[in-house]
Every structure is written in structure tokens, then in C-alpha cells.
Chain A
Amino acid sequence: MNIVLSVIQALGVVLLAPLVAGVIKTVKARLQNRRGPKVFQVYFDLIKLLNKDSVMSTTVSWIFKITPFIYFASGIAAAALVPVVTNTSSGIGDVFTLIYLLALGRFFLVLASLDAGSAFGGMGGAREMFIAILVEPALLLSMMTVAFKAQTTNLGIMAIMVQSSPLSLAYVFAAIAFFIVLIAETGRIPVDNPDTHLELTMIHEGMTLEYSGRKLALIFWAAAVKQLIMILLFILLFLPGNVFDGAIDIVIKVLLVAMVIAIAETSTNKLRLFKVPDFLAVSCLLSLLALVAQ
């Protein structure tokens, strides 16, 4: 039963993820006084890509070929764990499982980036790993602020606990901490710039540089999914209390968070790579504060 629910939910997340990405793009454009693309532009892009033929390097191995599928699969699997509809999904929604599923996807993506044997790919992969290494502790710390209280790492229980508890200083700290992590994890300014192909700054784009056509589509899509997952986690675990009831509440919150991301992105500019640790250190400190404040 739970499995079916969670699969449905996963599909839902997958289908909606590009929309959220589109929203962010649009809002960002508006903030920069551009008309920007349509909200659904991302879907069109994906379809276009899925229709395209693809080019593959001579040097690549089967790793390169299977990576998009694994990346996508890990995205979906992670999506299934987020307790949106499946609130008390027993034996499924677990923080560490989720984190390590995403890590699985990343593992293969970085391998693929090294596979093509181009300097950019390697650079992107190395930076991705660098960021991931620094994000991991921050992410876990912020999660622990909630998990210690719930005495479990089951997302469902944690979510319920959070939703039913009043807003407190601890949550404010934790939320900010996790938001920083979210920015870093989803590769947005000020950590990474999702829509640049400027060699020196790109991270995620660098890894996917060798991909084209439908494989690229899968990777884009998975990235969008990952982004939505992080946003959902933010909502469910760090924004206690709900304004409306049921799905509406979540939708509205998602849109709000998307706007906040867009604002954050327009109002800041990209950090140097070696400033990122300091950025994430702030997150860690806030999480610890949250722990203390509980």
C-alpha cells in the first residue's frame, strides 16, 4: 500500500518539478525586469531535448551511458521518500536513505563527468564533489535539529512532529541553516550558477557538458526533481504549522520558497569557490544554535 502511494507521489513530484524550475526562472526574470521564458518553458525544453539525437564521445564507457538512468532513478527513489501524501510511510521515508540515494546519483554523475576525459568535465566533477563534501555535514546537522527532537529519522514522523509543533526560535535557526544547504545542494547562486556555460564558474553544467539529447534531458529533469525534493523537505521539516490544510498548503509554500530562492539569487552574486566553506559554516553554526535553542 505504502509503496504504491509513494510511487504515485514520486511520479507527481517528477511531473511537477520542471514547473517549479520554470516558476523560479520566470520570477527571477521579472525581478531583473525581463519578460523571461514562459512558466512551462522547461517542459518544452525537455521535450525538445528528448526528441534530439545525441552525440557521444569516443572515449566514454558504459558508465557514461547508464549514468543518466541511475541519476534519474535515484531522483525518483528519493522523491518517493518525501512524505507529502504518504505521511506515516512506514519503513520508507528515512533521512539517511534519502541523502545517500541522492549521493548515489551524484556518485555516478561525477564518474560520467570524468569518463569523457575532458578537462571541463573533470573540473566540474571535482567541484561538485567538493561542494557535496562540505554540504553533507551541514545538511545532516540541520536534519538532526529535527531528528533529535523526534527521536527518529523517519521523515513521516518528523514531518508530523514539526507540523504539529509551534514555531520557535530553534525552527528559525534550523530553517535558515537548511535554506543555505538547499541553495548549495541545488547548485544555485551564490554557490553555483545553473544557467551559465562559462568554464571558470560552472559546476553542475560542467559535469553534464558532454551530454546531449535525451540523456541530457534525463539529467536536467532529475536535477529539477532534486531541487523540488529539497524544497519539499524544507517545507515539511523546517516550516512548522500550516496556514491552509492539505495539499494547498504545500503548493503555496512551494511557490513561496521558489520565489524566495529567486529573490535570493537575484540579490546576491556568485561566491568564489573557496568562500563556499565559510558560507556553509554559517549553516552549521545555525544548526548548532538550533540544537541549543531546543
Chain B
Amino acid sequence: MIAGDLYYLMLLLFSAGVVSVLFTRSNAKLTNYIAHSIALVGSITAILCAIFVFVQGKVDVVLPVALPFGPIGGSIDYLSAYFLLIVGVVGAATSIYAYGYSQEYYNCRLPLMAGLYNAFLLSMVLVFTVSHVVAFIIAWEAMSVISFFLVNHEYEKKVNTRAAYIYIVMTHLGTIFIITAFLLLAIGAGSMEFSQLKGSLVSETSRNIIFVCVLIGFGTKAGMVPLHIWLPRAHPAAPSHVSALMSGVMLKTAIYGMCRFFLEFLGTGPVWWGTLILVLAIITAVIGVLFAFIEHDIKRLLAYSSVENIGIILLGIGAGMVFMSTQQPVLAGVAFSAALYHVFNHALFKSVLFMGAGAVLQAAHTKNIEQLGGLIKKMPYTAVFFLVSSLAIAALPPLNGFISEWLTFQVLLFLPQALVGITGKVFSALLIALLGLTGALAAACFVGAFGIAFLAKPRSKQATEAIEAAPPMLVAMGILAGLCIVLGLWPRAMLTILSQTLMNFPGIDSMGLVSHDWYALASPTGQSDGGISTATIILLLLSGAIVAILLHSIFGKGKVAVGEVWTCGIVPNYHMEYTATGFSKSIRMVFKSIVHSHDETVVNANDNQYHGRKLFYHVRVRYLFDTALYRPINKAIIRTAHFMKSIQTGSVQLYVGYIMVVTVVILIWSTGW
């Protein structure tokens, strides 16, 4: 099997990448190029491996570890291959990007970072491919720990360490639920091999418990509200290409896990499973995008938008489960295709956005978009790629985001077939409306981000001095942005892969969407005229543009005078430009119950009231879930701990007393047996 060999080669390469930094650590340049080249080759190998699996069928491999659980192996079926493909594509791009971006870190522990970067890719690959409970959990936790170190890489900033701490604790809590879910299945099956785990072997109650555990466990990793608090902290803290990987791929490991459980292990469940997921999903989407919209730190903004997109993906999964439980395989197939399609899309454009943010950060040394502006002239290519991916993430045609969003909408449209009755109808309608709200908010959010960061005049000195990013970074962004367009125009390619990915799972018929002509997107119900055609859309847009150009030039070529903006007679400067704060003000006011910003104050920095007033506008947003949920819990725990500590008073008499009491108690208790 070529795929198997490629797999081992890939593992070998990534491990080599980890080891290589030990030898090259003296020379930063060398470290950068060698380590990241290895990562690049490894990622490409991953892509090839995935392709071969799709061509030749699933392969099984054995991992070189000796643990008291018997032989531990991996198996790369289509689902694994699909996610392997994602790792490969994004990993390759980020590796190229790293050539340029790592120069920031030449005197900031680059060897460590490069090594961890390779290890991170390795761990993610393993998570997607291993087929043994213990191996999965080891890979899973290793992934978390490695990314934790990467988040904490710039530990000179206290906030990063804090973020890393919250991240590792949250993810550890999540892992507990995952372990519980796995063990419950494993004792049912009497084996820890994935192939043996079957939901049919455990009781109904434990199936429900497993479902809840999976939801919490993987939901924590995915950043499902209200378990998302680590995400907007951790992602910005990591180096940008790592943030790209974390948002683009690592979050998807959770989706992968959910798919494994819901499609393979647990089997079809009651309707409330899917419904619960749907509810959580829509909450996640709306909350995420709201917080993204009011955010000024561009990387935090992107992180919150990841939360939103996870919500959209979960919508697909939830709907799919509902359809599975009501025996509608075709619709289930569509739903899961929508989810997985969006998984890939989000991996692409979110990576580009994070890379773009990284380029901006490198050029202007700030993540605060209020400080930026006018970058479109300084960094034209970055701007283009950022714009393309913004359009994609805003789900605008003719880009890939639109396709997956359209599919999701279709799925929700047909939801009443599963959730019959008026409530089902109203529920679905609300879901659609809220998804629409999410989409609009996302569009607004990225209009704001791009408009404030890249357009108009620079708002600070460093923004004025910004320069275009290094060629490798541009190449990396270009590749992925290009893929965004391709997948937007050529949905059939992805849908074919998806249909194969979902083929073998029970209760799913994924063939419905693959239509005969390359550009078309068939309707979920297969009826002839329910679908859309990307070709038509692009054609119409082009013809419209032509008409516009004709109109524009029909009356000869008019002169174009160039002049300053009229600002009531004052020389225009950047103080007059609209700010991100202002841009999101109205939304902050309408949704104040969720994104309530307390103490919005205007401060006069200049002590003289009348002459040379210098006004600053301060906003502090109250993060609902921190203040309302996590801080109280934290306080309570610490208080209890303080109280409990009073048992160790230091009095030896008391200590001996404990022994006496214990003895007597046990003696009395033992007489009962």
C-alpha cells in the first residue's frame, strides 16, 4: 500500500523536523529553513497520503509503541483522509508562510518554536489517524500540550501565560469527558479498538451519557459556547502561523471526534441529540460573531469569528443527526456534507486571515485595528488576499463560504421534514433567521476589520511605516485564497470527495449532491430546479460588470479631478476617520444584554478644559461568560479550598486524634460486615 508507506514517511518527516532543530539551533536562519522545509514536505506527504487513500481505499498501520494495551495501530479511512487533507493543505501553506514570519523570532527561541511546530503537526496527524482509544487520547493531549507551549511561546507577556493556563485547564477538563465517553464505550465493547466500539453494545442511558460527554468534551476543544472562553485568549497569543493552524485545523479535530462518535460509534440516536446540538450551535454562532464584531484586537476578532464558524459547522452536524434519527439518509448526507464542506472552507479562509493578521502585525507591530489604516497602499497583496478571504468568510458569492452556507441554509429549510409540526417549522425558521443574522454580522464584522485596518489614512506612525510582507508569506496566503475561489466556483470537486468521505457510514446517503455538470450545485431533494449554478452567478456578475463599464464609458471619457476630502474647510486627518469602536457602537447598543460595554467614557487627557482639548473614548466590554459564569465558580472553589485547609492546623494532638477517630469509626463500621 503506497498510502501506508506515505503515512510512515510523513510521521518520520515530522519527527525529523522536531529533531532537526537540536542540530541547527546555533544558526537561526538554518533552523528556520530546514525545520519548516521538513514541515512543508511532511504536509505535502500528508496530502498525497490522503489522495492515495481516496483512490485505493482505507489502510491500516501499526504504531511503534509498546504499552500494556496490546498492539496500538492507526487506520486511515475516508473520514481520516479528509481531515488529513486539511492538515496537509493548511500545514503546507503555514510552513511556507513560516519562512518569512519566523524572522520575527530569530532572537526569540526560534528552535523551540520550529520544533514544537513540527510536533504540533505530527500530533494533529496522529489524532486524525489513530484507531485505538489510548493512542487517540495520548495524541489528543499531546496536541493540547504542544499547542499550549506554542500559545505560551512569548511568555515575556504575562497575558500570554494566563491565556495558556486557561487554555490547558479547559482542554484538560474537556479531555476528562472524552475519556469517560471512550471508556463507557470500551467497556461495552470489551476492547479499545475503534473498530470494536459500538453504541449498540451499551445501554440506552449510557449512550445518552456518552453523547453528553462527547458534546462537552469535544465542544470544549471546538470552542462551543459557553466552553469557548479559552479560544479568544489562546489563539491571539500564539505566533500567527500557529494561530492559523489552531483555528484552521486544531478546532476541527473536535469536529472530527464528533463525526467519529455520531456517525460511527454511537449510531443513530434520539431526536433530542440533534436538536440540542442545533440549539447550542446557533447560540455559538450568534454569540461568537457578536463578540467578534465589537473586538478591536484583530487576532481576537478572528478567534471569535472561529467560534462563530464552529457554530455554523455544528448546525450542519446537528441537522444531520436529526435527519439520521428520522431515517432521512439523503438529507443527513447533505447536512454532514455542508458541515464538512464548511470545515474545509473555514480552514482555508481563516488561515489566510490569520496569516494576513500576522503580516500586518509584523509590518505595523500592533494588533489593534484602531492603530492601523491605509495599509492597502502599503501592503497591496496582503490586502487583496485579506479581502478575498473576508468575502469568503462573509459567505458572499462567488466564493467558497457561500457554497457551504447555502448548503446549510438548504438543510435548515428541509428541517421541518424531520421536526414535524408547527414547533419544528418555527424552530427551523428561527434557525434560518439567526443564521442570516450571523451572516450579516459576519459581513459587517469583516467590512469593519478590512475597512478600518486597510483603508483610508494610517491612524498611527507604525501604520505609516508599514511595508509589504515577505514573498513566502504572500505565496502562502495566495495559495489558500486561490483555493477559496476555486472551491467557490467548482463545488463539485469537494462534493465528490465528501460523498466518498461519508459513503460508508450507516444512515447516510451522500450521493445526492454530486450533480452531473461541474459547476452546478444540485438541490438536496434532487429535484431538477432546486439547485444553483456557480457558473451562472459568475456569468451574471460579469455581464453586469460589462454593462456597468459600458454605461461608464458610453458618454466619452470624462476628466477625473483629484482633491482632498471636503471636511468643512479643515485639512482632513486621521482623527476624522470613523473608528472600529464607532462602527460597532450601534450593535453594542442593540445587543447590550449580551455584549454590554460598561463605562464608555470620554476622557480629556489634557488637563486644560478650554484649550487644546484631547479626547479619548474608552470602552470596556463585559465578557458575559467570564463575569457571569467562570469567575464566580473560580471564586467559590478558591474559597472552599481555603476553608478546607483548616484541617491541617499544625497541632500534633489533633493529628493523633484523627487517627484515633478513624480507627474507632472503621471499627464500628466494620462490625456491620
Contacts and interface: CB of A to CB of B under 8 A. Distances in A.
Nearest to B529: A90
B189 interface: no
Given A76-B540, A111-B447, A218 B552 contact: yes
Interface stretch (B20-28, B332-340, B390-398): B390-398
Interface residues of A, number: 98
Nearest to B394: A107
Interface in A55-74: 55-59, 61-63, 68-70, 72-74
A104 B397 contact: yes
B590 A75 contact: no
A218 B614 CA distance: 41
A57 B426 contact: no
A140 interface: yes
Interface string A15-49: 00000000000000000000000000000000100
A116 interface: yes
A254 to B, nearest CB: 21
A228 interface: no
Interface string B557-574: 011111111110000101
A50 to B, nearest CB: 5
B444 interface: yes
Given A56-B560, A126-B578, A91 B429 contact: no
B577 A7 contact: no
Contact of A292 (B422, B428, B444, B456): B422
A163 interface: no
Contact of B397 (A97, A130, A148, A213): A97
Interface in B333-372: none
B429 A117 contact: no
A140 B455 contact: no
B437 A133 contact: yes
Interface in A84-109: 88-92, 94, 96-97, 99-101, 103-104, 106-107
Interface in A168-190: none
A283 B391 CA distance: 28
B567 A118 contact: yes
A286 interface: no
Given A63-B376, A125-B451, A132-B444, A100 B395 contact: yes
B433 A91 contact: no
B302 to A, nearest CB: 18
A267 interface: no
Contact of B590 (A54, A77, A210, A274): A274
A114 B578 CA distance: 7
Give chain A's interface secondary structure class.
helix
Interface residues of B, number: 91
A288 interface: yes
A214 B544 contact: no
B245 to A, nearest CB: 28
B648 interface: no
Contacts of B457: 59, 117
Given A69-B545, A97-B406, A141 B456 contact: no
Contacts of B576: 117-119
Contacts of A73: 541-545, 547-548
A50 B555 CA distance: 7
B494 interface: no
Nearest to A54: B560
Contacts of A292: 422, 426
Contacts of A133: 437, 440-441, 444, 587
A99 B440 CA distance: 11
Interface string B392-417: 00111100001001100110011010
7 contacts: A57-B565, A97-B532, A115-B456, A126-B583, A153-B410, A291-B426, A294-B425
6 smallest beta-carbon distances between A and B, as pairs: A122-B578, A73-B544, A76-B544, A117-B456, A114-B451, A90-B529
Interface of A: 3, 6-7, 10-11, 14, 47, 50-59, 61-63, 68-70, 72-77, 80-81, 88-92, 94, 96-97, 99-101, 103-104, 106-107, 110-111, 114-119, 121-123, 125-127, 129-130, 132-141, 144-145, 147-148, 151-154, 156-157, 210, 213-215, 217-218, 221, 273-274, 277, 284, 287-288, 291-292, 294
Given A92-B533, A107-B394, A294-B425, 17 more contacts: A10-B540, A50-B555, A53-B559, A55-B562, A59-B374, A63-B387, A63-B455, A96-B405, A115-B451, A118-B567, A118-B572, A119-B576, A119-B578, A135-B440, A140-B436, A218-B552, A277-B590
